[in-house]
Each structure stands twice: as C-alpha cells, then as structure tokens.
Amino acid sequence: MQVVQGLADRLIENVEKVIVGKTEVIRLTVIGLLCQGHLLIEDVPGTGKTMLAKSLARSIGGTFNRIQFTPDMLPSDVTGVSMFNQKTAEFEYRPGPVMANIVLTDEVNRATPKTQSALLEAMEERQVTVDGVTHLSPSPFMVLATQNPIEYEGTFPLPEAQLDRFLMRISIGYPSPSEEIRMIEAQQISHPVDSLQQAISIEELREAQSAVRHVTVTAEMKRYILELVTATRRHEDVYVGASPRGSLALFRSAQARASVAGRDFVVPDDVKALAVPTLAHRLIVGSAARVRDVDTRAIIQEILHSLPVPGGEIGR
C-alpha cells in the first residue's frame, strides 16, 4: 500500500497548490476517487467547489466537463443526443458533457427531477443510454455535484435515490484569515489552476483503484460497519435509515482511507472518520425530528458514541 499512499500524497499536494488549507477535504475527495465513487459538495458559493473539481482533473491528466444545471435543462443536455448524418445516412451519437473523467454538475438541485434523473444511470452503471443504444462512460469516471445549502428558492430537492448514489457528502467551508491571505496572494497575477501540472497518470490511478479493493477488512470490522448502519435504521428520530449501498460505501471508503495511510488493513478509526460523510446524507428523519431540526450528522455521531468499538487485536 506504500505505492497507493505515495500516489495519494502526490495528488493531495498538487491540489493543495490551488485549494489552500483544506487538506482533509482534498483527502476525502481523493478517497472518493480511489473508491470510484461520486461526491456531493454542499457549501455556500465561492468556497472553491469548481476549482476542486478542475484541479483534480488536471492532477490526473483526465478530461473535465462542467454542467451548469438550470430549470430549463433537458436530460439530453446531460447525456448527449443522436443526430442524423446525411453523408452516411445513419444516426451518430454526439456525447453530452457527462462523458468525461471528472464531471462537475454545478448547482445540481436547480434542475428538474427529470433532468436530475439523467445522472442516475451514469453514476451507478457508468453508462448512458440514448435512443436505446448504451454508451460506456470513460474510465475513471467521477461526478462532483454541488448545491447551495442556504438558497432554496427555485431549487428541486434531490430525490433519495440520487442522494443514495453519492459515496460521500462533504463541505469545504471558509478558509481561515491566514489561509485567505495566502489565497489572495496566490491569485494576484493569475490563478494557480492555470499552471497546475499533472501529478499522476490515468494508468497509475486505475492500478491504485484496483489495489484498494484488496485492503483487508476483518470480520470484526465488517460487523462494526453493519452494526453502525443497522443502528441508523432503528434510531427513533430516523424514518428511513442507511441503505445497503451505504454499508458498501462505508466499507469501500474505509479501505481507501487505510491505503492512503499506507496500511493494508482497516482499523476502527477509518470507519469512525468516514461514517458521517458516507451515511448522513442517506438518512431521512421523521416528521417530529424535522420539527426539532434534528441534524443527521448528529445522529451518526450519537450512534458512534453508543456503539462498542472492536478490540485492539484488529490489524495485529
């Protein structure tokens, strides 16, 4: 796992040239990339969501597309269309912006549910179907979706089925005063992303993604993950708990976090660190809890504190 750790360190260091002072956020993004998962970035405007996606694409030497979601968008604006070629007398597929290695779907909750659903097949099955013909997504493929948590007018809440397809929900947050000064100074002449160089190759990334799958997860750790997810389904404030896809998301991301740390085995800290990002957005609180403004992140933290942690023999 030293190879994966070195690759992750190079990626994080490279992206940090653009995104200042957000090492943990970048690490979570790299973990998501290694898991071949998708991320939902929920934050206020101007915190670097677009730059994070663009920097990641440049760091792996992959293609990058940005989709600005609006209420008048159609599904074909995402997936692409079939157009008739008069020379060949055949229909040809014109790929939509979703056909890229890193796809930023900006303000995803501004599009109608019909347009949002155009992402479902691409995110889960890594393909799109246009006029009955299936087209495979490029490899690697990652969707980074953003939404504004404070502006609800003119937005359409993401369906639970789509939320469940995101490996993690993360937030970038405001920089500290010293970090903001560094950011201002770095952009005085030009934006750092314009001169950002490739840090790893696509082939290296594919090999790392494959290696992550071989990280050891003991029976005790699997039970710990299952107990955590099961507890979300039984919590008194939760109407719908985390799905089996949530269990798999926590399992996969824990493997990736272990490999990024240079380990070939998962420890309880991996699961605890990733429980909130991987599970909180999958919970639906009951009506009574909604009135009390209960936060799903707090529910996950409460469950983590109440569950016994597997013994110290793990990983020895």
Tokens of 90: 């055949």
For residue 212, pLDDT over 60 is answered with yes
Higher per-residue confidence, 251 vs 42: 251
For residue 263, pLDDT over 70 is answered with yes
Last residue of a domain, one of 157, 189, 221: 189
Which residue(s) pair with 209 in the sheet? none
Asked if residue 221 and residue 181 are part of one domain, the reply reads no
Residue 126 is part of a domain; what is its CATH number? 3.40.50.300
Asked if residue 102 and residue 147 are part of one domain, the reply reads yes
Q: Give, as one character, the DSSP assignment of residue 286.
A: -
For residue 207, pLDDT over 80 is answered with yes
208 is a domain residue: no
196 is a domain residue: no
Contacts of 15 (CB under 8 A, 6+ apart): 26, 29, 30, 52, 55, 56, 59
Confidence of residue 316 (pLDDT cuts 50, 70, 90): very low
170-199 pLDDT per residue, tens: 999 888 999 899 989 988 888 899 999 999
pLDDT reported for residue 150: 61
Number of Cα atoms under 13 Å in the Cβ half of residue 212: 29
How far is Cα 244 from Cα 193, in angstroms, rounded to an integer? 38
pLDDT reported for residue 47: 85
Look up the domain containing 81 and give its range: 2-189
CB distance 231 to 17 below 8 Å: no
How far is Cα 139 from Cα 126, in angstroms, rounded to an integer? 9
Last residue of a domain, one of 156, 189, 222: 189
206 is a domain residue: no
For residue 315, pLDDT over 70 is answered with no
Asked if residue 224 and residue 184 are part of one domain, the reply reads no
pLDDT reported for residue 154: 63
pLDDT reported for residue 127: 93
Asked if residue 229 and residue 126 are part of one domain, the reply reads no
Residue 297 is part of a domain; what is its CATH number? 1.10.8.80
Confidence of residue 314 (pLDDT cuts 50, 70, 90): very low
Tokens of 165: 């397809």
311 is a domain residue: no
For residue 262, pLDDT over 90 is answered with yes
Asked if residue 181 and residue 246 are part of one domain, the reply reads no
Domain count, the chain: 2
For residue 313, pLDDT over 60 is answered with no
Mean per-residue pLDDT, 90-105: 92
Determine what percent of the chain is predicted with pLDDT higher than 70: 97
Asked if residue 137 and residue 16 are part of one domain, the reply reads yes
Confidence of residue 169 (pLDDT cuts 50, 70, 90): very high
Mean per-residue pLDDT, 281-305: 90
Asked if residue 175 and residue 109 are part of one domain, the reply reads yes
Q: Are strands 102-106 and 64-68 parallel, antiparallel or unpaired?
A: parallel
Mean per-residue pLDDT, 157-162: 81
315 is a domain residue: no
276 is a domain residue: yes
Burial code of 234-261, b = ≥16 C-beta within 10 A, e = fewer?
A: ebebbeebbbeebbbbbbbbbbbbbbbe
Asked if residue 135 and residue 51 are part of one domain, the reply reads yes
Q: How far is CA 224 from CA 248, 275, 281, in A?
A: 13, 11, 20
Asked if residue 179 and residue 125 are part of one domain, the reply reads yes
Mean per-residue pLDDT, 200-213: 95
pLDDT reported for residue 214: 94
8 is a domain residue: yes
How far is Cα 83 from Cα 276, in angstroms, rounded to an integer? 44
pLDDT reported for residue 97: 95
* Averaged pLDDT score across all residues of the chain: 90
152 is a domain residue: yes
Confidence of residue 156 (pLDDT cuts 50, 70, 90): confident
Asked if residue 11 and residue 74 are part of one domain, the reply reads yes
Asked if residue 144 and residue 235 are part of one domain, the reply reads no
Asked if residue 221 and residue 167 are part of one domain, the reply reads no
pLDDT reported for residue 151: 59
Lowest mean pLDDT segment, chosen from 113-122, 149-158, 206-215: 149-158
pLDDT reported for residue 68: 92
